[in-house]
Amino acid sequence: MSPNRLNNSTILIVEDHDDARTAMAILLGRLGANVLQARNGLEGLEAVKNSRPDLVITDLQMPRMNGFELLREIRSLRPEAGGTTPMIAMTALDTGLERARLLNLGFQACVQKPFTVETLVETIRSLLDD
């Protein structure tokens, strides 16, 4: 994978704030990703089941189904149905304890809001390159 491109990977963004979700989608799309969008965890879960993205980036605090519930639901799926899809949590908290807790719950990575483009892309690439 080239250092600045996301190599046609399919990335699902689950974020209830329209502007933030749209901005991330435009950015990742310009870097070569195929981007799916969901406004909450329920929509995100359906997108995982229907489209099998390579990676999920999710906000934690959302209405209807939050990021923690989404993680639990995705992890309950069989691997071939998307149950092992790598997931990045977006959080406003960035303490070592919060990061450790998120990783312990089953997220593969977390990024602190607000994050830089470089941080987000580096985190995505670290998971897609595995």
- Could you give all domains of the chain from N- to C-terminal order, each with its CATH number? 10-128 (3.40.50.2300)
pLDDT of residue 1: 42
pLDDT at 2: 46
Q: What is the mean pLDDT of each run of 10 residues along the chain (130 residues)?
A: 70 96 95 96 97 96 93 96 96 74 91 88 89
pLDDT of residue 94: 64
The reported pTM is: 0.92
pLDDT of 114: 85
Residue 56's alpha-carbon distances to 95, 96, 97, 120, 123, in angstroms, are 22, 22, 22, 12, 12
